[in-house]
Structure 1
Amino acid sequence: MSLEQFSKRDATPGYIYYEGEKKPKTPWESFLRVVRRAFKGELFVGLWIVLREMVTKGNTHTLMYPEEKFVMGPRYRAVHKLLRLQESESERCIGCGLCEKICISNCIRMETKLDENSRKEVSQYTINFGRCIFCGYCAEVCPELAIVHSGDYENASEQRAHFGLKDDMLTPLDEFKANKQQEFPGFGALSDDADSFVKKTPLAY
């Protein structure tokens, strides 16, 4: 492109052309360019904001874990819990197997048997948390609201294939009798007016 053509293009209305920074010709000009680029005003503004937040009381944004822990949201999907019936203290799980069938990670295993009353009960229930993606389908499909996602996100293990056994997830009877079973407001949770329309359940006979 000739100089004359460039001048015509530069004169086009509505266009702004950046000519670029002039190349330094001397070592001193190169040094000044390095200093100008490295010590801009925005750098010191950012440093001042960080320092101000550090020394201002009440502006701490760090939790002292594990003494302090985050309060998880109501729809947070962490380690599963198996709940009990409020009226009979029995397990809510009826062994239908829907959670095992819908699990897209193929991490739920269930074994059932007949009890002395010829009713099906769950003998073994495991979830492989090494495979689980915590999608929430198992809790969403459960007809008895037996399995829910809790806020317990600390599920580290020395083994890669960490299994969650039924006894670990089921609410202990002593905690249940002490009214310590938490009703989670996420997937599989009871509504606030559940007692008004729940009359009798099969496991309460």
Structure 2
Amino acid sequence: MSLEEFKNRNVGTQNYRMLDLEPTPESGWGRFKRVVRRSVQLELFTGLKVTFREMIKALFMGEMHTIKYPFEKLPIAPRYRAIHEMKRLLESGHYRCIGCGLCEKICIANCIRIDTRYDENQRKEVSEYTLNFGRCIFCGYCAEVCPELAIVHGGRYEVASEQRAEYALFEDMLTPLDQLANQKEYPGFGAVSPDADEKIKKTPLAY
């Protein structure tokens, strides 16, 4: 299922049929008679027939209504706030973070820690950057306030781990050098989507 199919799905176009349900029996004898009557009418096998019919469609006719997770995943919105990503400079491959500390100051969950130092050229660089995903509430303030667009929200949402230390690795959030050419650029956290004009309803008034 593509992202457009996922967004444009409409359950209102399906054909529904109203069932003529009998009133619920009040006494125990009435409930017993209903069980006996339904057993004689083989309603149990009617439900099994529907189950086997859908199973055959899924196995042999390709009409699968579920996905094979984790091999297949449902698409998510482009601006979904999932696990953070640290971006690199496309020219040099160095990470964009300048160590200003704004993300650490604005973090309301107090989960970001930054340590900086000066290199041999007396330029400030980040010596240690940790982000504790066990405390993060994914509010997006760190990505919104970053002046260099060094930290953004990516699309990786699986955060299960056996050790808490694996929640705070800077190298896991940083773009690998071999995938630098495929790094997706973001115009900013609060930027509008490219198709925003098509989504806006035109006013009927003439100005």
TM-score by length of 1: 0.65
Matching residue of 2:16: none
Cα pair distance change 1:34/1:140, threshold 3 Å: same
Deviation at 1:82, TM superposition (A): 0.6
CA distance, structure 2, for counterparts of residue 117 and residue 39 of structure 1:
88
| RMSD across aligned positions (CA) | 3.6
CA contact (8 A) 1:183 1:190 kept: no
The match for 2:182 is 180
1:143 paired to 2:144: no
1:70/1:185 Cα in 2 relative to 1: closer, same or farther (>3 Å)?
farther
30-39 or 120-129, which moves further after superposition? 30-39
In the alignment of these two chains, the number of paired residues is 169
Superposed displacement of residue 95, structure 1: 0.7
CA distance, structure 2, for counterparts of residue 185 and residue 36 of structure 1: 66
Deviation of 1:106 (Å): 0.7
Counterpart position of 1:133: 137
Is the 8 Å Cα contact of residues 149 and 186 (structure 1) preserved in structure 2? no
SS, match of residue 81 in structure 1:
strand
CA distance in 2, matches of 1:189, 1:159: 35
Within-5 A mapping of 1:147-162:
147-160=151-164, 162=166
Residues 146-167 of structure 1 show CA distances to partners (whole Å, capped at 9, x for unaligned) of: 0011111222211245432222
In the alignment, which residue of structure 1 is the partner of 2:102? 98
| Percent of matched pairs sharing the same residue | 63
Q: Which moved more, 1:42-51 or 1:157-166?
A: 42-51
More off after superposition, 68-77 vs 124-133: 68-77
Shift of residue 130, structure 1, vs aligned partner: 1.0
The code of the aligned residue for 2:109 comes to S
2:63 maps to 1:62 = no
- Verify: 1:86 aligned to 2:87, yes or no: no
Q: 1 CA distance for matches of 2:34 and 2:116?
A: 76
Change in Cα spacing, 1:186 to 1:120, as seen in structure 2 (3 Å) is closer
Separation in 2, partners of 1:129, 1:39: 57
CA contact (8 A) 1:80 1:147 kept: yes
Gaps of 5+ in 2: 1-22, 195-207
CA contact (8 A) 2:149 2:188 kept: no
Find the counterpart in structure 2 of residue 31 from structure 1. 32
SS of aligned partner of 1:148: strand
Q: Which has the larger radius of gyration?
A: 1
Distance in 2 between the 1:163 and 1:93 partners? 19
2 CA distance for matches of 1:75 and 1:38?
53
Preserved contact between residue 144 and residue 188 of structure 2 (Cα < 8 Å): no
What are the superposed Cα offsets for residues 104-139 of structure 1, whole Å, 9 maximum, x if unpaired? 111111001111221111110011111111121111
